[in-house]
Structure 1
Amino acid sequence: MKKTLLALGLSVLSSSAFAITNGTIVDWKNDFDDYVSGNCTGLIVGGDQILTAAHCGIGGNYVIRNDGTEITVNSKVDHPNYTLSANYDISTLNIDIQSTQNIRFFANLNNPTASKGDAVHAYGFAGSLTELKRGDFTVSRVSDASQYRFYHEYDENAGSKTEHGDSGGAWFNASNEIIGITRGSDAFGDLFYSKDFILEAVNGWHYPTVLKGTGTQTIKVQSLHLNSVVDSATSSGDVTITGGTCQTLPAIDAFDTCTYELDVTGSGQLHLTTNEVIDINPVTPTLVPPPTTTPSSGGSGGSLGFLSLLGLAVFGRLRKR
């Protein structure tokens, strides 16, 4: 059976997969290219991981990007403490590196992520699979490990709600920093309790893999390394590193963000490491069609075609007889 946009990847293994109602439609195609669609919602992190909910399965081993293309899921890793009771309901999907320009960053998950009364928001596909919506909420009760409650709750009677399709979508604080994952109903998982899982899954830079523009450009990156790192970036092509906070920090710890200032005159790359590369004004190679050849008829320029040679060989055998 041929795959269609409706035969999507992040399929639901539980009845608690939800999507935002009373939300505001956002521009998935142009502003949210780090979001992927399925019966659940996912967010591309570090270029080659998708953050989503553990209760979301992978139907057909693929998810859908904002341009309609399919991303093959190479593997799925659930939080080791995940249970069907929805504690630690978080998973990462390993994918090949993707082109992303607009990415979202994590809050410092070493600190409490929310307080009662905080304004928070989330994004989800509202069951349409192609229409990404934002919902705004107010935290009504915060997580509490002493009560085995590793999630925040929000007021269902005020503003937006989550319904089928939203599970796995990231939640944000008022500073637009990632603090949680939709688990369903009136709650979202507190990533404070899953920070080590995220760092182990990525253990690298979280960064936009593509930048377009010339002149003075600024790139923001975030460390999702297990241990502290220092700047080791280099540039190539028509790109020169001129400054930025990444170069001045003595050490860059997990969840720290920093910037690179660039002078861009054309196409090139910023190499955060050997394997973590930001393509700047990438040039799409032009496909050159192979040259066409006209079969020889064997009658011009004194040359002999294959059929002519075959005919002479047969004629020679007949003469010998």
Structure 2
Amino acid sequence: MSEPWQISTDVLVIGGGPAACWAAVHAREAGADVVLVDKGYCGTSGATAPSGTGVWYVAPGATARAQAKPNFFLQFDRRGIDPFTDRFEVDLLAEGTVRGTGGIDVVDDDCATTVPGLYAAGDAATRERICGGFTGGGSHNAAWAMSSGSWAGRGAAAFARGSGRVDPAAVRGAGRVGLRPETTESVSPAEVVAAAQRELLPFEKNYLRHGNRIRPALAELDDLWERAARGLGGTTGAERVQARQAAAITAVGRLMYRSTLARTETRGMSKRADHPDLDPAQHHHILSGGLDEAWTAASEAPLAVAS
């Protein structure tokens, strides 16, 4: 990971979970050259695979189980729970606003986004079209992963074959925070992650949400983003990955809390202690975006949700 690796392809699939694999298969079937990249290996990556939805087949036996889905079973092993025979409590917390019900906005039936050539699927893409303001635990997630991956793969292949490959000399890196520090000031990925976690993990901030607690937390995250822009980076490949992960955590947290403040009601998984009631006038999606200048906006019109 210390040296840049350059490769040319029609469709680049980032991730190795069910949605990514379905996207890669369908893009290839549509005639595109495909490269799939992932930090792990297919079968353990993504959010659907370790959730035990049965999307990935695992041969019986403890050894095969551990090799195929280690992240899923690790939490049970630590607690001495056999998930196949023991009863255990299931509780969903701190999963609202962006990841739990939202994600990258898709604007067409082929899971295209507002960025030409970028297609989103699985947990990276919004699932509000199929489950509204509540997360689709289990079956919804698995169905969405496979369906959106199939659509996105075909869409990406059609786009790539219609537009042709870009001259590598014309491509420039757009990433900044975590890659290209603005000053000689230094801040480590561990410091950024720890600071972000202090604002994002406490239940009193991110689950029992109240504007009086969210606004100060958001101000801290905005300040953290500025510090990261000035001094977060890395020299080796591994350091750059860690820096970008830290920047991504901070960026998503800023969008999440802005989205929270923009919805002054309680709807689905978006709960506000200071606005506990449902407001019929806010029957719309909250869109958010931006990095240095983060923003939120209401969707132009209420969007229909499949039942």
Give me the TM-score of the superposition, normalised by structure 2.
0.23
Structure with higher helix content: 2
Larger radius of gyration: 1
Structure with higher strand content: 1
Give me the TM-score of the superposition, normalised by structure 1.
0.23
